[in-house]
Amino acid sequence: MIATIQYNSKKLQIDLSLPIDLSIPLSASKNNVNAWYLDAPIIEPAKDGDRIVSVEEGACVNFNNISFNPHAHGTHTECVGHITKKVHSVNKNLKQFFFLAEVVTVAPEKLNGDFVISKKQLRFAIGNKKRDAIVIRTIPNTKEKLTAQYSHTNPPYLLEDAAIYLREKGVKHLLIDVPSVDKEKDECALLAHNAFWNTKGKIRLDATITEFIFVPNKVEDGMYFLNLQMAPFENDASPSKPILYKIMS
């Protein structure tokens, strides 16, 4: 199904039958992607006294409870409430869901024993393009990212200057395939989070960071139409399902 969309002053054609899902499914498995030192998610039937509410156990429906952490267990979108004393809900602050996005591929570079993404790298990858959203795919990009156990592994992260560059470029929505834009253990400095949301100035309440995505290798770098779908949790972060559509014209 081909749709013609008026976006700002541009007319875009996208094929709605060819979505590119960037989310990692959440499952009750030790192979579920994981970070921040938590156990795997739990999905299990609710109990009514001694009665287990599942069809296999004789109930007429399956009726599961789910226990998980959005930051640790899969693709999630977060707002500045993730790092502020005042509670901000991502559900109340993300009000638009369609954006022009640029997919860029970056090879994190070695710095003081870490692998990092710098302003120089992003400036080279993005150039003079103006986009609402930037989708960062790091390499190597293997399917191991779908089941990786990141705790105590010090994954790649953004340098503060890279986050400032994106903010100053007007990027409102940052999507990346690592557990966090910041270093795993940084004594709560959270330099990239703070820089992107501008917590020392006028806070960008409508800006979001989406972590734990997966961009398949077949997806070429370039401009796409992004639908940033999110579960309506009143929380600083929510499980999300970012969908890209290739722009045909």
* Mean pLDDT confidence for 166-185: 98
Output the pTM of the full model: 0.96
Per-residue pLDDT tens digits for 30-64: 999 999 999 999 999 999 999 999 999 999 999 99
Q: How many structural domains are present in the chain?
A: 1
pLDDT value at residue 7:
83
Q: Does residue 8 form part of some domain?
A: yes
Q: Give residue 9's pLDDT band: very low, low, confident or very high (50, 70, 90).
A: confident
pLDDT value at residue 221:
98
pLDDT value at residue 5:
84
Angstrom distance (rounded) from CA 172 to CA 159: 18
Q: Are 232 and 75 in contact (CB under 8 A)?
A: no
Per-residue pLDDT tens digits for 105-144: 999 999 999 999 999 999 999 999 999 999 999 999 999 9
> What are the strands, taking DSSP E only, across the chain?
2-7, 10-15, 20-21, 42-45, 47-48, 51-52, 64-67, 76-78, 98-106, 109-111, 114-117, 133-138, 157-158, 173-176, 208-211, 222-230, 237-246
Q: Does residue 99 form part of some domain?
A: yes
Angstrom distance (rounded) from CA 167 to CA 170: 5
Q: Does residue 141 form part of some domain?
A: yes
Q: Is residue 249's pLDDT more than 80?
A: no
Q: Does residue 208 form part of some domain?
A: yes
Helix, strand, coil share (%) of the chain residues, nearest 5: 15, 35, 50
- Looking at residue 111, which CATH number applies to its domain? 3.50.30.50
pLDDT value at residue 128:
95
Maximum C-alpha span of the chain: 63
Q: Does residue 160 form part of some domain?
A: yes
Round the CA-based radius of gyration of the chain to a whole number and report it: 19
Q: Does residue 127 form part of some domain?
A: yes
Distances (CA, A) of 181 to 20, 49, 246: 22, 44, 26
Question: What domain range is 15 assigned to?
Answer: 2-27+69-246
